[in-house]
A and B are shown apart, each in its own frame.
Chain A
């Protein structure tokens, strides 16, 4: 790539290639629809300018067939592109079930990454090539946005919520990561690098980055240290919902509604327990807002998930839209 005058970004995934194909072919279409207009305007300005003799008889001031055609036909031609673009977009929201899940916490003005084995990174992200990678993201403060131009992906990262993105990089290399939702003073410094490594290099990196015990094990320690087990473990005198097989299950709520126990539900239960009270249980759980950090939440979440869905074959549910 020409570093002096770059013109087009590298495409580091099949999705990126498809987006490029889409915009290039769409540009061709609209060029074909527009160039005649520009050419005609210039032609008419020359041919029919004042003082230029030309045939100005029978000047039309309307033509319903022309109007209908140029209203309907260009629109219909764009519909195919609309549909393909929508398909690619919806696909971005459906991570494959076997994705490598990496947790992302954004804060002013840095990116924090947690690999499933407990490896942590700041601003840089190492991933293996040819592997589906799913990012589960939240923010500690304002809205940020995770943007990797080479992969053509972007997703806003919100406080109080999880959003997700997935990709499969097919070209080893180093690619820029940039925050792309204005987040305050050092927004333009909230950048990093995505290192796409071969499988062997990634395995080596994992080893040297030092697994600090997997996230679920750390979550179990937190569960005990924060006192959660005092109510939620069997044998407790407090009537609190069991967490065994909770993740992914339908939970009946006070008032007749029911929700799926997904990431958002677990998070809300810890930070805002009175929001959705499980049916048949007293509203006595205290809030842990301010006592747990985003990283703690990632570990607690991993622990709850490790307590398993009721049927191991049940796929993990998507975060609530």
Chain B
């Protein structure tokens, strides 16, 4: 089992290698946090400077779709966590099944998001495209523009996450990644997915709950 990694150069001990893998992923997620964090701080500043306009804009957002999406994403993280536990226990098929379920929920998120975007577009909220905007104040338009930027960026990261989970699950099924000996691969995939989830947990209140 040897700490869930297959020892390779330049490492001398499995525990050292696994520790390095975790640290690397955390540093990477730290960098991602700086990017999303910068963007979300911007939105927060917008809300502070223009509270009425932000609230007005937020009332045009589809809070029920977003709430459903929150539930979808949190559940997918649950499946991923269970899958990682299964990987540590060496249950190959369980890992694949659980990850596939999580991918399915991720796809459901994207589908719901697409439906939401379609409605936003038909209401004229998309910047420069579609029917004229129902928003009066410029600050409200700014809020909605930032909503599109943030949720698009999040959706891109989520799509990347789907590939990561997919490749990991396939690799386990085809025995190219052995569990539990190489469970670290699943652990790393899981960390990335959880990060995507956490970003959504911040995006949701900053935008959808600004309606006041």
Flag if B139 contacts A275 (CB, 8 Å): yes
- Report chain A residues within 8 Å CB of B51: 255
CA distance A275 to B50 in the complex (A): 9
Interface string of B34-51 (1 = CB under 8 A from A): 000000000000000001
B52–A254 CB distance below 8 A: yes
Q: Are the C-beta atoms of A255 and B52 separated by less than 8 Å? A: yes
Q: Which residues of B contact A272 (CB under 8 A)?
A: 137-138
Is A259 located at the chain interface by the 8 A CB criterion? no
Complex CA–CA separation, A255 to B51 (angstroms): 9
Q: How many residues of A contact B (CB 8 A)?
A: 6
B contacts with A: majority SS: helix
A272 and B136 alpha carbons, distance in the complex (Å): 9
- Residues from chain A with a CB closer than 8 A to the CB of B53 are 275
> Would A275 and B52 count as touching, CB distance under 8 A?
no
| Complex-state Cα separation, A272 to B51, whole angstroms | 16
Over the window 160-182 of chain B, the binary record of Cβ atoms lying under 8 Å from chain A Cβ atoms (1 yes, 0 no) is: 00000000000000000000000
A interface SS class: loop
Question: A33 contacts the other chain (Cβ, under 8 Å)?
Answer: no
Q: Is A140 an interface residue (CB 8 A)?
A: no
Binary interface encoding of chain B residues 45-78 relative to chain A, with 1 for a CB under 8 A from any of its CBs, else 0: 0000001110000000000000000000000000
Q: How far is the CB of B56 from chain A (nearest CB, A)?
A: 10
Tell me the complex Cα distance, A275–B51, Å: 11
Nearest to B137 among chain A residues (CB) is: A274
Contact with A along B137-163 (1 / 0, CB 8 A): 111000000000000000000000000
Chain B residue nearest to A268 in the complex (CB): B138
B137: chain A residues at CB < 8 Å are 272, 274-275
CA distance A255 to B136 in the complex (A): 16
**A42: chain B residues within 8 A (beta carbon):** none
The closest CB in chain A to the CB of B135 belongs to: A274
In the assembled complex, the Cα of A284 lies from the Cα of B138 at a distance in Å of: 15
A252 to chain B, nearest CB (A): 14
Contact residues of B between 96 and 143, Cβ < 8 Å to A = 136-139
Q: Does A30 contact B (CB under 8 A)?
A: no
Distance in Å: Cβ of B52 to nearest Cβ of chain A: 5
Q: Does A204 contact B (CB under 8 A)?
A: no
- CB of B130, distance to nearest CB on chain A (Å): 21
The smallest beta-carbon distance between A269 and chain B, in angstroms, is 13
For chain A, residues 8 to 56, give those with C-beta under 8 angstroms from any C-beta of chain B: none
**Chain A 174-220 residues near chain B, CB threshold 8 A:** none
Q: What is the distance, in angstroms, from B55's C-beta to the closest C-beta of chain A? A: 9
Contacts of A275 in B (CB 8 A): 53, 137-139
| Chain A residue at minimal CB-CB distance from B55 | A255
List the interface of chain A (C-beta within 8 A of B).
254-255, 272, 274-275, 283
Q: Could you show 13 A-B contacts with beta carbons less than 8 Å apart?
A: A254-B52, A255-B51, A255-B52, A272-B137, A272-B138, A274-B136, A274-B137, A274-B138, A275-B53, A275-B137, A275-B138, A275-B139, A283-B136
**7 more A-B contacts (CB under 8 A) besides A272-B138, A274-B136, A274-B138?**
A255-B51, A255-B52, A272-B137, A274-B137, A275-B53, A275-B139, A283-B136
